[in-house]
Amino acid sequence: MPWPAFRDPKAAENFNTDRFAEDLIKNAVKVGLNPNKLILVVPLLARSDSESSDIGYSNAIYDLGADPRGNGSAFLNGTGYFFFSQTRAIEKVALAKKYGLHGIGLEGGESFESEDLYPWDANSLFHAIALSSGRRLT
């Protein structure tokens, strides 16, 4: 999924919604891409709506105390951080199935900043996506 416009608060607030993802999928199909060749990628970053730096999913959960099963937002000192919570990520699994996409993936790993939690951690995005797809992690 593309990143929202740099420091555009409305874009930062909306990039993790189903509507945003559906618009991207529809536009890709409209220009001739085969949906079965598309993978919907969920970024592991929490986008800031101000001049503050972005942070990673793990930072949003551990440092900001964000709810991993919440709506994908956390606030600190007036700055909003918007990310893919487990709830938002699971919604994307349903969208991928609805539109016949090849699958869903997690983007991260460039640094600790953009890491998921351990896969066996119940607050991990990988864990939530696997469980929603009928997979067991133990």
pLDDT at 13: 61
Q: Token pair for residue 35?
A: 């949906």
pLDDT at 107: 86
138 has a pLDDT exceeding 70:
no
CA-based nearest residue to 106, from 65, 67, 96, 63: 96
Angle, CA 69 vertex, CA 64 and CA 75 arms, to 5°: 30
14 has a pLDDT exceeding 80:
no
pLDDT confidence bin for 12, thresholds 50/70/90 = low
pLDDT at 1: 47
Q: How far is it, in rounded angstroms, from Cα 67 to Cα 43?
A: 17
11 has a pLDDT exceeding 70:
no
Whether the model pTM is above 0.75? yes
CA-based nearest residue to 80, from 11, 5, 33, 137: 11
Residues contacting residue 122 through CB under 8 Å, at least 6 positions apart: none
List, for residues 57-110, the tens digit of each pLDDT value.
999 999 999 999 999 999 988 888 989 999 989 999 999 999 999 999 998 766
CA-based nearest residue to 57, from 99, 115, 106: 115
